[in-house]
Each structure stands twice: as structure tokens, then as C-alpha cells.
């Protein structure tokens, strides 16, 4: 996997052990400039209301990299499923600048995620082509995948539509 060699660049960094159920990051919190790299264990990625969207178990996987790189609040809550050990990178930007191999691994991982999300949305579009439900379905998927940037961000993503399509007012 992409992240398999990342830990070799973390030899001098501190680690932290998290108990099962302990929260590493909380959705909506401001970025602290730090991120984690999984050494062992399993973490659950949770969105609004505690909906699990993914689990991470591969050693060397970055955790919290999106808010670090984009400068937005944390986009999901991360909770340890099992006893988990992570490298703690306090100065995330500095670490990535000094370790371009790690930055490349993070970029490749983010590229894979974007590719998968785009392919998934294109598949949904094909499945619902010609149906009135097409745009509602794509909107629902997009809102679950994309965290809107803070008001201080230079650009905005998303649309002006009602966040909950079930509460939308027909025009």
C-alpha cells in the first residue's frame, strides 16, 4: 500500500496510546496544525451524528491530514475501535515539508479517495439518469463526502440547496 513506508520517517517522533472508544479528533474542531500517523490498531471515521463512513487499520496511514492541509476544521470524528497507537506530529506542515516522501504518500492517498468518490458519483449519475431523483441522490452523496470550508476560507464548495433534501421546499 501507499502508506507502508511512512513510519520509517517517524522514528524520532512521540507516540500516543489511545484506549478503545477514545476520540483522537472531533468533527468541527479547528485544525491544531498536528496530525497522527497510525502505528497499530483500528480507528473509525465518523460523520455527523456518529455515522461510520470508514475504518483505518493500515500502519502508516495519516489521520487528520485533510484539516491540516486545507486549513479547515476537522472534517470527521476519529475514534479508536481497538487499543491504538499513533505517532503524534505536532508541526504537521513542517514535518511534511521536511519529508517529501510522506507528503507524496499523503497526496497519493488523497488522490485515491478523490478518484473513488468521483467514480462513485459517476456511477450514481448513470444509475439514476433520467430520474427526478438523480440530483437529489447525488446531492445526498456529495453532502456526506464533502465538508464545507469555514467562513474564513477563500472559496466555497457545495450549493445553496437545503442541507436535508427531505426538508427542501419545491419551487
Q: Which residues contact 55 (CB under 8 A, 6 or more apart)?
A: 42, 43, 44, 45, 81
pLDDT grade, residue 171 (50/70/90)?
very low
64 against 138, higher pLDDT: 64
Using one digit for the tens of pLDDT, what is the confidence trace for 75-127? 999 999 999 999 999 999 999 999 999 999 999 988 898 888 888 887 877 77
Which residue shows C-alpha cell 492541509? Answer: 69
DSSP 60-88: T-EESHHHHHH--S--SEEEESS-EEEEE
Which CATH number is 6-99 given?
Answer: 2.60.120.10
Reply yes or no on whether the pLDDT at 154 is more than 50: no
Sequence spans of domains, the chain: 6-99
Amino acid at each position: 500500500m501507499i502508506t507502508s513506508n511512512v513510519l520509517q520517517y517517524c522514528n524520532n517522533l512521540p507516540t500516543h496510546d489511545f484506549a478503545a472508544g477514545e476520540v483522537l479528533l472531533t468533527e468541527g474542531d479547528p485544525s491544531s496544525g498536528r496530525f497522527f500517523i497510525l502505528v497499530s490498531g483500528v480507528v473509525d471515521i465518523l460523520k455527523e451524528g456518529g455515522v461510520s463512513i470508514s475504518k483505518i487499520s493500515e500502519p502508516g496511514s495519516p489521520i487528520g491530514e485533510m484539516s491540516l492541509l486545507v486549513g479547515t476544521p476537522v472534517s470527521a470524528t476519529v475514534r479508536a475501535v481497538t487499543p491504538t497507537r499513533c505517532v503524534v506530529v505536532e508541526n504537521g506542515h513542517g514535518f511534511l515539508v521536511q519529508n517529501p516522501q510522506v507528503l507524496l504518500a499523503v497526496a497519493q492517498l488523497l488522490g485515491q479517495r478523490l478518484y473513488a468518490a468521483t467514480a462513485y458519483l459517476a456511477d450514481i449519475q448513470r444509475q439514476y439518469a433520467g430520474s427526478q431523483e438523480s440530483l437529489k441522490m447525488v446531492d445526498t452523496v456529495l453532502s456526506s463526502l464533502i465538508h464545507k470550508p469555514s467562513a474564513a476560507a477563500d472559496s466555497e464548495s457545495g450549493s445553496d440547496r437545503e442541507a436535508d433534501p427531505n426538508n427542501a421546499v419545491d419551487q
